Amino acid sequence: MTEDKIKNLLQQADKAAGGANPVKVNVTVIRRRAGRKNMITMVAPFASAAVLMVALGILAFMFRTIEPTEEQKKIALLESRIKQLQARTDAALSLIQEVLEEEQRQHRLDELHAKLASISDPLEEVQNQVDKTAFVLVYQADRLYRELNQTDSAVENYNRVIKLFPENRWAKVARQRLSEIERRKTNNTI
C-alpha cells in the first residue's frame, strides 16, 4: 500500500516537473567526436611508441659507443704506454724517496749515537766528584795535622771522610792517618 502511495507521489512530482526539455541529439557532432576519439585511441599507442623511441634515441646518443679509428687506437696505445711509464717512474721515484728518507734516518741515528757516546757517564762523574771531595778533605786534614798542628780538627775531618765516603780509597787513607795519630798519642803518653 505504501509502495503504491510512494509511486503515485513520485509520479505526480515527476509530472509536475514537466519532463525533460526536448533534446536535439546532433548525430553529425557525435560522428565527428567519435572519429576524433577513435583517432586518439589509434594514435595514442603510436605517439607513446614514438615518444619512447625518441627517449631511447636520446639515451643511446648520450651513452653512445663509437668504434675507434686506427689512429685513435695508436693514440690510445701510446697513451696507455705513457701511463704505464709514468706509473713506473712514479714507483721508482717513490722508492728513491724512501731510500733517501731511510739514509737520513740512519744518519740521524748515528749522530745521536755519537752524541750519546760523547756524554760522560754520570755515575762516573759523581764518583770523580766524590773522590775529589774526599781527597780535598783528607788534604786539608793533613795540612791541619802536619803544618798547623791542629790534631782535633784534623781528626774531625778524617772522621767526616770515613763517615761520608766509607768505601772510598781516601777513607782508607783517613783511617790510616787516624790510627797513626792514635799511635802517636799513645807513644807520647808512654
Rg (CA), the chain: 62
CB 67 to another protein: min, Å:
52
Helix axes 169-189, 151-164, angle to 10 degrees: 150
Half-sphere exposure of 166 (CA within 13 A, CB side): 1
| Binding test (CB under 8 A) with another protein, winner from 3, 124, 147, 167 | 3
CB 66 to another protein: min, Å:
50
Q: How many CB atoms lie within 10 A of CB 32?
A: 11
| Contact code string over 169-188 relative to another protein, x by CB under 8 A | --------------------
* Span 5-24, contacts to another protein by CB under 8 A: 5-7, 9-14, 16-17, 19-24
Nine-digit cell at 35? 572519429
- Quick check: 134 and 165 in contact, CB under 8 A? yes
78 contacts another protein (rule: CB under 8 A): no
* Span 26-45, contacts to another protein by CB under 8 A: 26-27, 29-31, 33-34, 37-38
Residue type, 12: Q
| Binding test (CB under 8 A) with another protein, winner from 2, 186, 187, 188 | 2
Nine-digit cell at 70? 686506427
Stretch that binds another protein, among 25-33, 71-79, 133-141, 148-156 (CB under 8 A): 25-33
62 contacts another protein (rule: CB under 8 A): no
CB 50 to another protein: min, Å:
24
CB 10 to another protein: min, Å:
5
Q: How far apart are CA 158 and CA 145, in angstroms?
A: 10
> Per-residue DSSP letters for 32-91?
HHHHHHHHHHHHHHHHHHHHHHHHHHHHHHHT--PPPPHHHHHHHHHHHHHHHHHHHHHH
CB 45 to another protein: min, Å:
17
Q: How far apart are CA 157 and CA 3, in angstroms?
A: 147
Q: How many CB atoms lie within 10 A of CB 142?
A: 16
Residue (6 or 82) nearer to another protein, CB: 6
Point out which residues bind another protein (CB under 8 A): 2-3, 5-7, 9-14, 16-17, 19-27, 29-31, 33-34, 37-38
